[in-house]
């Protein structure tokens, strides 16, 4: 292999074959196992989508019921896990808690640690089912409230809001939360998914693989943009300051959070769906200030980019923070929610990696000194 195969950040390099997500960046389309994200967002839910991702096809009614029962039956946490969450430093970062709990969980579930074919994570589903409980318990503990036991009669999204708030959400809020999980469930070979596959390729456990993926998602260049969009709105301060703020941002070549995407060169299809959910939330809550702000901001940003001949569109993070905020979710839980939703995508990739495994071992392009003689310390 010649050195000209080097591509910084592995950009453009095909690292493995996959049958999970297809992203058509030019026309702004996303498919999970061949089904469009629009169809799944409209007609499916997180549990059915999880089955699809893990089993490569949609379930029959009986299969879906069995899967739902199994996933809902796995939601509760062992008391030792709750105690670990309670003892987590209040000023610690929730992503760090999530990462640590994930490894800890493996000791408290009926999980076969053996690798590859003998791993039973596809049927126990604990990582996927328990992460919302972990996050909600963390939020309750830091508010000084008791963690709320999960319910098995609510969807994945509605149950998360229930555990967070201590009371069941309205049906439409539960649906919107569940849809947010569907929209974030999978997105191809990004940094965190690739991390999960690299760890899985060593025949490590799925717990360790997902824990590593959470570490990768934590970084500001990956999962953190949704919260930073709202930080940016706070910094702007008001709708009448948008134009002036953007002028300043463009003059200093500052990257505008929530805009642009490495893969999508059209509007991110998930952003389109979230926009409709934001509209519904604003209408029902009779508070459209965030929506009006977002529309004005998007128009002003895109006008500037079009003048420069570079059409750049909003990505999913531009909208998700606003939706979570309208659902009353604290800002520092936005990225952990992304991890909670993506856990099933990571698991699907871990299983796919194992089906046709080869340990990842790229080369570095050596740029260091030529071989040289060692000098004893006394002679240096
Ligand atoms: N704000 C201002 N300018 C932007 C921009 C943004 N958010 N996104 C892209 N551009 C500019 C680029 O700087 C580039 O300009 P140039 O040709 O003068 O260098 C041009 O638009 C084309 O950029 P493109 O190649 O399409 O994007 P990229 O692949 O370089 O960057 C991101 C993609 C995601 C890294 C980038 O859009 C970004 O940092 N966005 C903000 C962070 C964010 O929302 N991340 C979440 C992604 S899901």
Say which residue, 2 or 316, is predicted with more confidence: 316
Is ligand 1 within 6 A of the CB of residue 317? yes
Confidence of residue 233 (pLDDT cuts 50, 70, 90): very high
* pLDDT tens track for 57-71: 999 999 999 999 999
Q: How confident is the model at residue 123 (pLDDT cuts 50, 70, 90)?
A: confident
Is residue 113 in a domain? yes
Same domain (yes/no): 196, 319: no
pLDDT of residue 117: 52
Ligand 1 atom nearest 315 alpha carbon: 48
Q: 128 CB contacts (<8 Å, ≥6 apart)?
A: 50, 71, 343, 344, 347
- Say yes or no: 208 and 351 in one domain: yes
Does residue 208 share a domain with residue 138? yes
Q: For ligand 1, what atom is nearest to the CA of residue 268?
A: 48
Atom of ligand 1 at shortest range from CA of 250: 2
Give burial (CB, 10 Å; 0-12/13-18/19+) of 70.
middle
Domain assignment of residue 194, yes or no = yes
Q: What is the pLDDT of residue 219?
A: 87
Whether residue 256 has its Cβ less than 6 Å from ligand 1: yes
Which pLDDT band, with edges at 50, 70 and 90, does 189 fall under?
very high
Q: Is 262 in the pocket of ligand 1 (CB under 6 A)?
A: yes
User: Do 209 and 255 lie in a common domain?
Assistant: no
Domain containing residue 77: 33-219+332-355
> Ligand 1 centre and the CA of 256: distance in Å?
8
Shared domain check, 115 and 37 = yes
Ligand 1 mean position to 20 CA, how many Å? Answer: 26
Q: What is the CATH number of the domain that holds 273?
A: 1.10.230.10
Over 60: is that where the pLDDT of 53 sits?
Answer: yes
User: What's 263's DSSP letter?
Assistant: S
The pLDDT tens digits for 261-273 are 988 989 999 999 9
112 lines ligand 1 (CB under 6 A): no
| Residue at 170 is within a domain | yes
pLDDT digits 0-9 by tens, 341-370: 999 999 999 999 998 999 999 999 999 999
Ligand 1 pocket: which of 188, 255, 311 to mutate (most atoms within 8 A of CB): 255
342 and 230 fall within a common domain: no
Cα of 262 from ligand 1 centre, angstroms: 7
| Residue whose CA lies nearest to ligand 1 atom number 13 | 255
Burial category of 100 from C-beta neighbours within 10 Å (exposed 0-12, middle 13-18, buried 19 and up): middle
Give percent of the chain above pLDDT 90. Answer: 82
Q: Is the domain of 214 the same as that of 232?
A: no
Return mean pLDDT, the chain. 93
Contacts of 361 (CB under 8 A, 6+ apart): none
Diameter over CA atoms, the chain: 78
Residues 114 and 188 in one domain: yes
- What tens digit of pLDDT does each residue of 285-320 get? 999 999 999 999 999 999 999 998 888 999 999 999
Confidence of residue 114 (pLDDT cuts 50, 70, 90): low
**pLDDT the model gives residue 129:** 92
Catalytic residues: 261, 317
For residue 369, is it within any domain?
A: no
Confidence of residue 203 (pLDDT cuts 50, 70, 90): confident
Same domain, 347 and 315: no
pLDDT band at 222 (very low <50, low <70, confident <90, very high): confident
Task: Confirm if 346 and 192 have CB atoms less than 8 A apart.
Answer: yes
pTM: 0.94
> Are 188 and 64 part of one and the same domain?
yes
Q: Which residue's alpha carbon is nearest to atom 4 within ligand 1? A: 255
Q: Is 367 contained in some domain?
A: no
Q: Encode pLDDT of 13-35 as tens digits.
A: 999 999 999 999 999 999 999 99
| In contact, 220 and 353? CB cutoff 8 Å | no
Residue 263 within a domain: yes
Q: Is the CB of 255 under 6 A from ligand 1?
A: yes
pLDDT band at residue 253 using 50, 70 and 90 as cut-offs: very high
| Amino acid 68: pLDDT | 96
- Structural domains in the chain (count): 2
Q: Pick from 258, 249, 268, 259: which is nearest to 229 by CA?
A: 258
Q: Does residue 258 have its Cβ closer than 6 Å to ligand 1?
A: yes
308 C-alpha vs ligand 1 centroid, how far in Å? 13
Q: Is residue 308 lining ligand 1, measured as CB closer than 6 Å?
A: no
Q: Is the pLDDT of residue 1 over 60?
A: no
Percentages helix, strand, coil for the chain (3-state, rounded to 5) are: 60, 5, 35
Residue 207 lies in a domain: yes
Comparing C-alpha atoms, which of 43, 127, 138, 164 is closest to residue 341? 127
From the list 244, 257, 245, 242, the residue with the least C-alpha distance to 299 is 242
Whose CA is closest to atom 14 on ligand 1? 310
Residue of 309, 284, 279, 311 whose CA lies nearest to 295: 279
Helix, strand or coil, per DSSP, at residue 27: coil
- Calculate how far, in angstroms, residue 266's C-alpha sits from the geometric centre of ligand 1: 13
59 and 135, same domain (yes or no):
yes
**Residue 336 pLDDT:** 96
Rounded to the nearest angstrom, the distance between the alpha carbon of 260 and the centre of ligand 1 is 5
Based on the domain organization, do 340 and 258 belong to the same domain?
A: no
Contact 117, 354 (CB under 8 A): yes
Residue 43 lies in a domain: yes
Q: Are 105 and 127 in contact (CB under 8 A)?
A: yes
Contact (CB, 8 A) for 302 and 313: yes
Q: Considering the chain, what percentage of its residues have pLDDT values greater than 70?
A: 96
> Looking up tokens 């791993």, which residue turns up?
119
Per-residue HEC secondary structure of 212-261 comes to HHHHHHHCCCCCCHHHHHHHHHHHHCCHHHHHHHHHHHHHCCCCCCCECC
Residue that the structure tokens 């950040």 belong to: 9
Residue 187 belongs to domain with CATH number: 1.10.580.10
The verdict on the CB of residue 225 being under 6 Å from ligand 1 is yes
């Amino acid at each position: 292999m010649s050195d000209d195969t080097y591509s910084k950040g592995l950009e453009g390099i095909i690292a493995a074959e996959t049958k999970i997500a297809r992203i058509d960046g030019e026309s702004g389309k996303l498919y999970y196992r061949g089904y469009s994200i629009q169809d799944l967002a409209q007609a499916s839910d997180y549990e059915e989508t999880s089955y699809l991702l893990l089993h490569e096809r949609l379930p029959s009614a009986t299969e879906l019921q069995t899967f739902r029962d199994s996933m809902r039956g796995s939601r509760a946490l062992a008391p030792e896990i709750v105690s670990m969450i309670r003892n987590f430093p209040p000023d610690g970062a929730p992503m760090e808690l999530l990462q640590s709990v994930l490894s800890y969980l493996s000791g408290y579930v009926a999980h076969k640690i053996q690798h590859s074919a003998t791993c039973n994570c596809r049927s126990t589903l604990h990582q996927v089912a328990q992460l919302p409980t972990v996050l909600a318990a963390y939020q309750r503990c830091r508010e000084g409230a008791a963690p709320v036991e999960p319910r098995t009669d609510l969807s994945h999204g509605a149950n998360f809001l229930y555990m967070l708030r201590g009371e069941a959400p309205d049906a439409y809020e539960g649906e919107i939360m569940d849809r947010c999980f569907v929209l974030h469930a999978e997105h191809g070979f990004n940094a965190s998914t690739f991390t999960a596959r690299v760890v899985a390729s060593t025949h490590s456990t799925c717990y360790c693989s997902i824990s590593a993926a959470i570490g990768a998602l934590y970084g500001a260049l990956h999962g953190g943009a949704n919260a930073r969009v709202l930080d940016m709105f706070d910094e702007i301060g008001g709708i009448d300051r948008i134009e002036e703020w953007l002028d300043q941002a463009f003059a200093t070549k500052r990257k505008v959070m929530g805009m642009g995407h490495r893969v999508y060169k059209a509007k991110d299809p998930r952003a389109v769906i979230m926009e409709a959910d934001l509209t519904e939330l604003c209408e029902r809550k009779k508070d459209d200030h965030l929506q009006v702000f977002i529309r004005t901001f998007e128009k002003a940003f895109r006008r500037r980019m079009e003048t420069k001949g570079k059409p750049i569109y909003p990505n999913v993070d531009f909208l998700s923070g606003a939706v979570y905020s309208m659902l009353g979710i604290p800002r520092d839980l936005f990225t952990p929610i992304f991890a909670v939703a993506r856990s099933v995508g990571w698991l699907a990739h871990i299983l796919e990696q194992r089906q046709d495994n080869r340990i990842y071992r790229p080369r570095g392009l050596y740029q260091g000194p030529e071989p040289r003689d060692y000098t004893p310390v006394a002679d240096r």
